[in-house]
Amino acid sequence: MLSACSTTKFVPEGKMLLNKTKIEIEGTKDVTSSDLKAYLRQKTNSEILGFWKLQLQIYNTAPLDTTTKTKKRLARNAHRMGEAPVIFDAEMTTASMNQLQLVMQNKGYFDAEVDTTMSVKDRKLSITYHVKANEPYQLRNCSYLFPQADLKSYATDKERTLLKDGMLFDAKVLDEERQRISSAMRRNGYYFFDKELIKYTADSSLNARKVDVEMGLQNYITEWSDEQKKRLFTKYIVSEVHFHMDYDPAFVPENESVVSSQKDKYYFTWINQTFLRERTLIKNCLIRPGEVFNERLVELTYERFNRLGIIKYVDISFDPVSDNELECHIVLSRSKLNSVSANIEGTYSAGDWGIAAGLGYINKNIFKGAEELSLNAGVGYEWRANGGRAIEAKAEAGLKFPNQLNVNLMYNYQTRPNEFTRTIANADLSYRIARRRSKWTHDFRFVDVSYVYLPWISEEFSETFLKPTNILKYSYEDHLIAAFSYGCTYSSFRENQPLRSFSTLNMQVELAGNLLYALSLLAKLPQNADGAYTIGKIPFSQYVKADVSYVYNQIFNEKHRLVYHAALGVAIPFGNAQTIPFEKRYFSGGSNSLRGWTIRSLGPGGYRSAGGRIDYNNQSGDIRLDLNLEYRFKVWSFIELAAFTDAGNIWTIRPYEAQTYGDFQWDRFYREIAWNYGAGLRLDFTFLVFRLDFGFKLYDPGRLYYDNKAWRTAKNGLNWREDAAVHFAIGYPF
């Protein structure tokens, strides 16, 4: 292991390890070193935290002597999991210089100069690339030589053009302008037009670093036949749309026949039986017979069909059938109709062992309109350390329509020995607006009704939690929640630029009980002993709840990224309620929150439960704050490591006797922000991520007013059993 610290262990004699590369740019702010780093032909070994070459050190743990089978195996494993040293190559450095100069020229810096300086120490070489931009060339004006009126109109559109007087003579922008003009033509019927037909002629003879650009058609078009030229500038109409479902003209199974039907100018072909209704196919196809060809509608049609769970494969093509008509052919392949899943798991919570099992069923085309039906059922059994058995059973049903309308039903039954029996029923109707090209997603939950019924509560539990002054009294009484919520998500992630840093913003607002409260006032419904209006003797909740979270992924390269996360939530009861329902309250700790604490074991504020044990009933609040920072780096294939630190807590809006120091106060809340650090292991299989996190408390506000030993150090009695937590989870925390 000590020999692995030598980064030049496997560097051959007479060679040098490429230790550091750096790019310095002089004379421009339009181009940064990060813009150019991707164009270096030779890069150093990957680093963690900007300095630690962990994978190189893993490689160097291999023994130099491989005369035995054991040593050969150790060397083979170390070399497979690690990363071989990058040996300095002078030719690659020259190629990098040429590439950097070419990139600068493409951005308009035709006189850019690239030079290098090198330093060597202990057979490790560092290179600094010096890029001197010099004065760039700028676009002075652009003229257009297009013979066709529509083409010239789209090209000279001042509101949409990307070419502006005085801009850098940037080759990328020039190419994007060709694509813009070509897209405008293809969205207005010109099926055979392509961006490669457009050329630029640049004149920089003014000797003032100004460039005049002339845009026109390629010279080879003059050699085309009259028929080809005419086709290029002909607006095409879609004459017919043909749907081919599970149909391959080259292969028809024995004893099965090809069936066809027609509706208006839509044609349908399938083998034996279609798997989608004709009206569903027409509704999701935005390519209409009799309308002008539009490339954008083709893209949207792809998007709509790919969104249907029953569709596995889509292909859209066009065949010219006359001088100005196209025939559209849409080939659809179905995915598996039914799927069944089963799971079984062991649980351990606060000293109690348990087992749970579940069964799920999905039908992706229940009504032959691409409606997806999902059914899930599960049961759990837990052995309580204090005696008795806890049982929980649940059943869920969901129906998802192609237009993103969802209906969900849920029923949950719980029995806790020596505590209570409770049933929870829920029904909701939601709608999502999500478009492929939009960065925003909108979620509306128009109806969200929950009913909680407790047929039995033990006397001991009632005396402890159902006192008039107890904050959780309402949570263990029959109650009704009728809520409406709206949420939106913004993401700057780009699929075509996966290594570009991106951010995600999520916001949600939930309102409950307002309509019922207004109707109760108008109808003058009776009130219970607590002054709350009731429906069928059941009080309903009234509150407003708002949440916002922000995630920023700072991507250094394909193996290293730094992820920032911040989340704030506030829930305020009013009108018909004095507290937030237990199931709507916030909790802290766990695999997706502060990982130095187990789930629901932190807060609120400086509250500490009796004996420091988890108090599920009282460790909840109305305000939540999460601040997280995580460094992720791949060490080999699907294996990823992480280092993280988390901070935050929960608080209550009002002070409660049962939650001492749990309320939010401006003069002390900052002293009650918990802090932890830790490390994690991830197995990233792309479609599924297994995560194991080890979190350690650094600052515990639960001890602030208890023994004044909030900072968890050896001096303050650090106890790894109490001050550490292990989390296993599926997926990333944020």
| DSSP-derived secondary structure for 222-258 | GGS-HHHHHHHT---EEEEEEEEES-BTTB--TT--E
- Cα Rg of the chain (Å, integer): 33
> Quick one: pLDDT at residue 2?
44
Question: Sign (positive/negative) of CA torsion 166, 168, 174, 177?
Answer: negative
Per the CB < 8 A criterion, the answer to whether 36 and 22 are in contact is no
Q: How far is CA 597 from CA 126, 600, 669, in A?
A: 44, 8, 19
Residue 130 pLDDT > 50: yes
DSSP characters over 329-368: EEEEEE--SEEEEEEEEEEEETTEEEEEEEEEEEETTTTS
Residue ranges, comma separated, of all CATH 3.10.20.310 domains in the chain are 3-132, 138-232, 237-334
Per-residue three-class SS string for 396-412: EEEEECCCCEEEEEEEE
Q: What spatial distance separates the first Cα and last Cα of the chain, rounded to whole Å?
A: 34
Per-residue three-class SS string for 387-453: CCEEEEEEEEEEEECCCCEEEEEEEEEEEECCCEEEEEEEEEEEEEEECCCCCEEEEEEEEEEEEEE
Q: Tell which CATH architecture fits domain 138-232.
A: Roll (3.10)
CA-closest candidate to residue 662, choices 650, 674, 671, 670 = 650
Residue 559 CA to residue 40 CA, distance in Å, equals: 17
Residue 97 CA to residue 616 CA, distance in Å, equals: 62
Partners of 632 in the β-ladder: 561, 642
Per the CB < 8 A criterion, the answer to whether 414 and 423 are in contact is yes
Residue 531: CB atoms within 10 A of its CB come to 9
Residue 56 CA to residue 58 CA, distance in Å, equals: 5
Per the CB < 8 A criterion, the answer to whether 673 and 662 are in contact is no
> Quick one: pLDDT at residue 401?
92
Residue 681 pLDDT > 90: yes
What pLDDT digit, counting tens, does each position of 279-300 carry? 999 999 999 999 999 999 999 9
Q: Which CATH class is domain 237-334?
A: alpha beta
Q: Which fold has domain 360-730?
A: Porin (2.40.160)
Per the CB < 8 A criterion, the answer to whether 56 and 7 are in contact is yes
> Quick one: pLDDT at residue 3?
47
- Give the pLDDT band of residue 477 (cuts 50, 70, 90): confident
Q: How far is CA 306 from CA 129, 167, 310, 333, 384, in A?
A: 46, 40, 9, 11, 48
In the chain, the amino acid numbered 345 is E
Residue 701 CA to residue 705 CA, distance in Å, equals: 8
What average pLDDT does the segment 329-352 reach? 84
619: which DSSP letter? Answer: S
Per the CB < 8 A criterion, the answer to whether 592 and 729 are in contact is yes
Residue 383 CA to residue 318 CA, distance in Å, equals: 65
CATH 3.10.20.310 fits 3-132, yes or no: yes
Residue 673 CA to residue 646 CA, distance in Å, equals: 10
pTM to 2 decimal places: 0.74
Residue 650 pLDDT > 60: yes
> Quick one: pLDDT at residue 635?
80
- What's the whole-number average pLDDT of the chain? 89
Q: Roughly what angle, to the nearest 10 degrees, separates helices 295-306 and 171-186?
A: 90
Residue 630: φ, ψ to 5°: -140, 130
- Give the pLDDT band of residue 474 (cuts 50, 70, 90): low
Q: What are the tokens at 725?
A: 């937590």
Q: What are the tokens at 536?
A: 């069928």
Omega before residue 604 within 30° of 0, cis: yes
Per the CB < 8 A criterion, the answer to whether 145 and 165 are in contact is no
What pLDDT digit, counting tens, does each position of 222-253 carry? 899 999 999 999 999 999 999 998 765 555 55
Residue ranges, comma separated, of all CATH 2.40.160.50 domains in the chain are 360-730
> Quick one: pLDDT at residue 252?
52
Residue 377 pLDDT > 90: yes
> Quick one: pLDDT at residue 498?
77
Q: Are strands 17-26 and 724-730 parallel, antiparallel or unpaired?
A: unpaired
CA-closest candidate to residue 427, choices 401, 445, 453 = 445
> Quick one: pLDDT at residue 436?
67
What average pLDDT does the segment 151-166 reach? 92
Residue 104: CB atoms within 10 A of its CB come to 26
What pLDDT digit, counting tens, does each position of 251-266 carry? 555 555 566 777 889 9
pLDDT: which is higher, 488 or 275? 488
- Give the pLDDT band of residue 54 (cuts 50, 70, 90): confident
CA-closest candidate to residue 62, choices 46, 76, 47 = 76
Distance of CA 683 to the CA centre of its chain: 18
Q: How far is CA 412 from CA 213, 343, 378, 391, 538, in A?
A: 70, 18, 10, 11, 19
pLDDT: which is higher, 207 or 401? 401
Residue 350 pLDDT > 70: no
What average pLDDT does the segment 105-132 reach? 93
> Quick one: pLDDT at residue 253?
53
What average pLDDT does the segment 488-515 reach? 90
Question: Sign (positive/negative) of CA torsion 262, 268, 274, 277?
Answer: negative
Q: Tokens 């709507």 appear where?
A: 584
